[in-house]
Amino acid sequence: MTNQTKPIKSESEFSDNKEWKITKFDRTPIMSTYLVAYVVGEYDYVEIKDSNGVSMKVYTPVGKKEHGRFALDIASKVLPFYAEYFNIKYPIAKADQIAISDFDSAAMENWGLVTYHEMRLLIDPKFSSMETRQHVTIVVAHELAHQWFGNLVTMDWWTDLWLNEGFASWIEYLAVDKFYPEFDIWTQFVADTFARFLIHDALKSSHPIEVPIEHPAEIDGIFDAISYSKGSSVIRMLHDYIGDDAFRKGLHNYLTEYSYKNTVTVNLWSHLSQASNKPVNEVMSSWTLQMGYPLVTVIEEKQPNNTRILKLKQQRFIADGSVDNENLQWKIRITVFTKSNPNLIAKQILMDQPEITITLENVSENDWIKLNYHSIGLYRVKYQSTTLGNLKESIADKKLSSQDRLMTQDDVAALCNAGHQSFVDYLKLILSYQNEDNCTVWKSIGKR
């Protein structure tokens, strides 16, 4: 078997050696050279055409073709989803995937011929665990997202690597959630991606998402949790900030204008700003050009007539509890929701200064209130003991989403470790999880 980015155009034998043959491939579109792949070897394969007529094959080691059907099924769903989401057809004629036993990376998004380590692509239909199936689903969805975001439009230089990887690491979850809702994949995102970035970016040794790269030797160092985990969390936050319709419109215009070209991050911000009429570049620069993330401290002042006043203060959160001498500030989309309607944001505001005040009307004295709906904002929250104690009810009766239940205890644990909160508060809070039935939430608690 011989394969390349484009379909085979012709094959012929060598005139002087019948054991060899000449394979010619169709001409590729304009593309980055790092995305060209050639594979020669003995393989079995399974094949299908997706709903848009794109030819798809999964190549496996000889005798393992049935192990490729799961990935083929994923690809046949995800590729048309991306074409619809971006409103741009898949750019080339085929979408092949191949398992390589000694591949030294997890996967590589070569255009039309994605290469994988066997463990990232093949599923034994009898013995592979649910966790393994979920992992393969995520990896395949990630690599196919790159066929547009990275391949059709490629970043100008490695400084903007985070946007390639961060975007694919976000939209993979969007696709998987659509086709496999039973995976509860967004809770896993919060546990495995969002919480992971919070750990790494709280270190003094962290770095901004956008890192100037001056020498090729520096490139490998930025393929880290900041590029992937913080990058995808930033995109998730941005998507929520401007809304899905504006996000898709801006993406379509961006991908259309820069098809088969190189681009930079601010070009995407420009298109998303135009589509949403929101100051995307101004807001996002505080998240991409400086390291770290904020801790939002909530001081509550109760007023008569069911009025609650929240005084919010932001400062950089550092894992060892030390003070940020640079006095970094962020533009934070603050969301607040309450007991009276736990599935609706009661108040949202862009916090663009060190301290702000929020007033909530018609919220009784003993009703719980919580910041950061579905844990989408990139910040930790510190509550007073009374405000935190009120949240125990919403955790025990599962009025909070699994994402919010997970991050409530994760925030408090991190604050305790940094010396910002008492471990007594954490121990009291954790009692409200006695009847927790979400395994991902328990997995997070177990790490603490």
User: Distance of CA 259 to CAs 31, 33, 87, 437, Å?
Assistant: 10, 16, 13, 46
- The predicted pLDDT at position 295 comes to 98
- The predicted pLDDT at position 223 comes to 80
Q: What is the CATH number of the domain that holds 46?
A: 1.10.390.10
Find the domain containing 265 and state its range.
153-288
- Choose between 394 and 365: higher pLDDT: 394
Residue 416 CB burial class (10 angstroms; 0-12, 13-18, ≥19): middle
Kindly state whether residues 443 and 298 are assigned to the same domain. yes
Kindly state whether residues 173 and 237 are assigned to the same domain. yes
Is the pTM of the predicted complex or chain greater than 0.95? no
Kindly state whether residues 267 and 331 are assigned to the same domain. no
- The predicted pLDDT at position 1 comes to 57
Inform me whether the pLDDT recorded for 187 exceeds 80: yes
| Nearest to 176, CA basis, from 145, 201, 217 | 145
Domain end marker among 126, 145, 164: 145
Inform me whether the pLDDT recorded for 143 exceeds 80: yes
Q: What is the CATH number of the domain that holds 317?
A: 2.60.40.1910
* Average pLDDT over every residue of 130-145: 97
Kindly state whether residues 174 and 197 are assigned to the same domain. yes
- The predicted pLDDT at position 120 comes to 97
Q: 398: left (phi > 0), else alpha (psi -120 to 50), else beta?
A: left
Kindly state whether residues 20 and 42 are assigned to the same domain. yes
Inform me whether the pLDDT recorded for 14 exceeds 80: no
Inform me whether the pLDDT recorded for 13 exceeds 80: no
Q: Burial code of 354-381, b = ≥16 C-beta within 10 A, e = fewer?
A: eebebebeebeeebbbbbbbbbbbbbbb
* Average pLDDT over every residue of 222-242: 93
Phi, psi of 67 (to 5 degrees): -75, -10
pLDDT band at 286 (very low <50, low <70, confident <90, very high): very high
Q: 419: left (phi > 0), else alpha (psi -120 to 50), else beta?
A: left
pLDDT band at 3 (very low <50, low <70, confident <90, very high): low
From 109, 143, 172, 210, active-site residue: 143
Cβ partners under 8 Å of residue 238, min gap 6? 247, 272, 280, 284
Spatial contact of 404 and 352, defined as CB atoms under 8 Å apart: no
Inform me whether the pLDDT recorded for 79 exceeds 90: yes
Average pLDDT, the chain: 94
* Average pLDDT over every residue of 109-123: 96
Q: Where are the alpha helices (DSSP H) in 14-97?
A: 69-86
- The predicted pLDDT at position 5 comes to 60
* Average pLDDT over every residue of 421-430: 96
- The predicted pLDDT at position 269 comes to 98
Domain end marker among 145, 173, 206: 145
Round to whole Å and give the CA distance between 62 and 45.
8
pLDDT digits over 16-44, tens only? 777 778 888 888 889 999 999 989 889 99
Percent of the chain surpassing pLDDT 70: 98
> Rounded to a whole number, what is the largest CA-CA distance in the chain?
96
Kindly state whether residues 303 and 441 are assigned to the same domain. yes
Kindly state whether residues 309 and 360 are assigned to the same domain. yes
- The predicted pLDDT at position 24 comes to 84
Round to whole Å and give the CA distance between 204 and 200.
9
Kindly state whether residues 132 and 212 are assigned to the same domain. no
- The predicted pLDDT at position 224 comes to 85
Is 84 an annotated catalytic residue? no
Kindly state whether residues 343 and 386 are assigned to the same domain. yes
Kindly state whether residues 245 and 356 are assigned to the same domain. no
Domain end marker among 231, 264, 288: 288
- The predicted pLDDT at position 4 comes to 56
Number of domains observed in the structure of the chain: 3
pLDDT band at 6 (very low <50, low <70, confident <90, very high): low
pLDDT digits over 300-359, tens only? 987 888 899 999 999 999 999 999 888 899 999 999 999 999 999 999 999 999 999 999
pLDDT digits over 144-158, tens only? 999 999 999 999 998
Residue type, 407: M
pLDDT band at 61 (very low <50, low <70, confident <90, very high): very high
Kindly state whether residues 35 and 14 are assigned to the same domain. yes
- The predicted pLDDT at position 225 comes to 87
Kindly state whether residues 260 and 327 are assigned to the same domain. no
* Average pLDDT over every residue of 394-405: 97
- The predicted pLDDT at position 216 comes to 85
